Amino acid sequence: MNSSDLVRIRTFLTGVLAEHDDHAGFDDAESLVQSGRLDSLAVVKLVSFLEADFGVDFTRIEFDPQRFDSMREIAALIEDARA
């Protein structure tokens, strides 16, 4: 995954968190779902973003909520979808 893809993901997640008045930063391994920073509606937005912007087809790959928990997991999910 290239750095511009990571910037796009981070920008999207920062925007979603800001919608909930969460302006704290996060690192690539930080839990966002299990920590409660991203709720189920935010995950739905993330799924739509991944489908539209990265061509992730969730009918071809396993939908596992753990795969949305951190930047690192999201990047790995995209890589798996591209393979």
H helix or E strand, kind and range, residue 20:
none
Spell out the alpha helix ranges (H) of the chain: 3-19, 40-54, 71-82
> What is the domain range of residue 26?
3-82
Q: Dihedral sign, CA of 21, 24, 26, 30?
A: negative
CATH for 50 = 1.10.1200.10
> Per the confidence metrics, is the pTM higher than 0.85?
yes
C-beta separation of 74 from 68 below 8 A:
yes
pLDDT tens profile 31-69: 999 999 999 999 999 999 999 999 999 888 878 888 889
The total number of structural domains that make up the chain: 1
* Closest among 62, 58, 26 to 44, alpha carbons compared: 58
pLDDT tens profile 9-34: 999 999 999 999 999 999 999 999 99
